[in-house]
Amino acid sequence: MTARYISFDEVRGYRSYKLAHKRGLEVAAARPNLSYRWVVIALPSGRFAPMVIINNELPGGPGQFLGELNLCMAN
């Protein structure tokens, strides 16, 4: 298996970690019955963005988050 690099070059993100974290909490609060992980990542631009980690056990997979703005996803 080959490791792959995920590029978020086109993501605008938030100017601070605190704002990205706040957005991650908002997304999580909208889905209180889903069990998943999310993190705040540093973008190549120096800005920050919340990122949901999708796995095969998440009901609905990435479809749960497709309508969300300012949120990255990775599997």
Does 32 fall in a domain?
yes
Does 58 fall in a domain?
yes
Q: What is the pLDDT of residue 49?
A: 96
Task: Give the domain range for residue 69.
Answer: 17-74
Does 59 fall in a domain?
yes
pTM for the model: 0.85
Percentage of residues in the chain with pLDDT exceeding 70?
Answer: 99
Does 1 fall in a domain?
no
Percentage of residues in the chain with pLDDT exceeding 90?
Answer: 51
Does 68 fall in a domain?
yes
DSSP string, 9-54: TT---BSSHHHHHHHHHHHHHT-TT---EEEEEE-TTS-EEEEEE-
Domain count, the chain: 1
